[in-house]
Amino acid sequence: MTDLLLLPGDGIGPEVTAQVRRVATHLANDLSIEERPFGGCSFDLSGTPLTDEVLAEAKAAKAVLMGAVGGPKWASVPRHLRPEAALLGLRSGMQVFANLRPAFCFPSLADASTLKREVVEGLDLIIIRELTGGVYFGQPRGVEDLPGGGKRGVDTQVYTTAEIERVGRVAFELARGRRNKVTSAEKSNVMETGQLWRDVVTELHRREYPDVELEHQLADNTAMQLVKRPLQFDVILTDNLFGDILSDEAAQLTGGLGLLPSAALGEPGKPGLYEPIHGSAPDIAGKGIANPLAAILSFEMALRWSLDRADLADTLFAAVNRALEKGARTPDLGGSMTTVEMADALLAEL
């Protein structure tokens, strides 16, 4: 059985996953690692961004680590064959419904944020984004021609009690091991799914997690609170679309997307899917200057959540912190190190 399946993907994906491989080999050379094409490069090779074989291997691995997908090269490919469709297909095929997106501020990087140091110093929050439902997958969807000319585009936002409960449990369980607070974000003031979300979370809390502090916020207010007073948050529980938006915003609080990992988990015992939050960054792809830390910290999460090596995860996290303290910086953090030099600095700490 493969321990870690690497899907480097497109853009800067291959550059950063190559550094994950170096770190993984150094830290745990007993891990079996495989690598497969995925996204745009898979489309170029075989006409589909996610082959049945790769999906089957992903479901059979212990952990899957994806680099990045997409780019201008595939912008005119039909939507169901685009690299992004492969990612949605992988998430839904692996049934990884809970996406953990931490945003923490490394002390040495508090000045890298566009917000004032005193607003972000000590930041340590995690967004739990529902990942296999909502408007990303709801039916019907499509664009149709209208008889009188013009078109009509439809996306459907849909959630069931069971979908909200299972992701809600992940948030409450996680909060218990942290600062014991969950902020649930939706739009119950205008959306039916938002009202259902609020009702189900309220009931789940009353029934199973009364010891955890629960706050409800409207998602637009959460967007504002994130830049106004981000230290109020511990665990933010939200749906697929709001989670997509709020997690980019939260990432910028920490000085940028180049540092932040994510984990997508399903039922216990099933493989997790790990991805850096950044995209394929076509503007810098191939230049060797992408920050590999988001991908490396995604591997750190894989060690913790899927590979049962929390000890190694702690070691790796501490080494990242030390490398940053000593001034290791790629251009996104205001420095001039290359991707490889950043990984070298980390390996030196390990």
**Whether 283 is catalytic:** no
Q: Dig out the tokens for 176 from the structure.
A: 């218990």
In what helix (H) or strand (E) does residue 220 lie, and over which residues does it extend?
helix 219-228
Find the catalytic residue in 111, 199, 220, 283.
220
| Residues from 35 through 74 that contact ligand IPM (CB under 6 A) | 70
Does residue 239 touch ligand IPM according to CB under 6 A?
no
Residue type, 290: A
Cα separations in angstroms, 26 against 30, 170, 278: 10, 32, 24
Nearer to ligand IPM, 13 or 70 (CB): 70
In whole angstroms, what is the distance from residue 2 CA to residue 34 CA?
A: 7
Find the catalytic residue in 209, 244, 274, 332.
244
| Residues from 239 through 258 that contact Mg ion (CB under 5 A) | 244
User: Which residue, among 129, 195, 113, has the nearest Cα to 168 in the 3D structure?
Assistant: 129
68: which strand partners?
9
Task: Kindly state the smallest distance separating residue 244's Cβ from Mg ion, in Å.
Answer: 4
**Whether 136 is catalytic:** yes
Does residue 165 touch ligand IPM according to CB under 6 A?
no
127: which strand partners?
101, 236
Does residue 341 touch ligand IPM according to CB under 6 A?
no
Nearer to Mg ion, 23 or 87 (CB): 87
DSSP string, 301-331: HHHHHTSS-HHHHHHHHHHHHHHHHTT---G
Find the catalytic residue in 73, 124, 155, 248.
248
> Which residue has the closest beta carbon to Mg ion?
244
Q: Which residues contact 43 (CB under 8 A, 6 or more apart)?
A: 49, 74, 77, 81, 82, 83, 86
User: Is residue 336 packed enough to be buried (19+ CB in 10 Å), middle (13-18) or exposed (0-12)?
Assistant: exposed
User: Which residue, among 256, 306, 220, 336, has the nearest Cα to 31 in the 3D structure?
Assistant: 306
**Whether 248 is catalytic:** yes
Q: Are the C-beta atoms of residues 276 and 67 closer than 8 Å to each other?
A: yes
Does residue 155 touch ligand IPM according to CB under 6 A?
no
In whole angstroms, what is the distance from residue 188 CA to residue 334 CA?
A: 41
Can you tell me which residue has the tokens 């060690």?
A: 303
Give the 3-state secondary structure of residue 127: strand
Q: Report what 110 binds from Mg ion, ligand IPM, none; CB cut-off 5-8 Å by kind.
A: none
Q: Which of 35, 57, 84, 215 binds ligand IPM (CB under 6 A)?
A: 84
Nearer to ligand IPM, 38 or 209 (CB): 38
Task: Kindly state the smallest distance separating residue 87's Cβ from ligand IPM, in Å.
Answer: 5
Q: Report what 234 binds from Mg ion, ligand IPM, none; CB cut-off 5-8 Å by kind.
A: none
Nearer to ligand IPM, 74 or 209 (CB): 74
Task: Kindly state the smallest distance separating residue 279's Cβ from ligand IPM, in Å.
Answer: 6
Mark 242-281 with x for binding to ligand IPM (rule: CB under 6 A) and - for no binding.
Answer: --x-------------------------------------
**Whether 187 is catalytic:** yes
Find the catalytic residue in 3, 10, 62, 187.
187
Q: Which residues bind ligand IPM (CB under 6 A)?
A: 70, 84, 87, 244
Q: Which residues bind Mg ion (CB under 5 A)?
A: 244
Write out the catalytic residue numbers. Answer: 136, 187, 220, 244, 248
